[in-house]
Amino acid sequence: MDIIFLRGLHIETIVGIFDWERVKRRIVVLDLEMATDNRKAAATDAIEDALDYSAVSKRIVAFVEQSSFFLVETLAERICEIIRTEFNVRWVRLSLNKKGAIQDASDVGIIIERGEKT
């Protein structure tokens, strides 16, 4: 299996449980790894046979910008659902960083994996 990755995708959204988090959009940073089989795309050199990471990025950005969740866990789960169902990805690992959520920490977030990597 091959891995397509997107790293450092910055998106503004509303996410958090506190009143002050529900008012101002904050940046979350996503890192994605998606398992796919690139052999057909490599043989044909056609985007139709590849996992179109530009399309994945545009879809996720649009979704996250319009979302408003209380928990990063919920946001992360929904992102993985979109990737797996809409882009036929068997396995995805998502790291979602909610920078500035904890005053004394440079980063805080969640890493989840969904599906089978094989």
Write out the catalytic residue numbers. 98
Q: Is 112 helix (H, G, I), strand (E, B) or coil?
A: strand
> Amino acid identity of 15?
V
Pair 32, 9: CB distance under 8 Å? yes
Which stretches of 1-118 are DSSP H helices? 39-44, 53-66, 72-86
H or E segment at 15?
A: strand 2-15
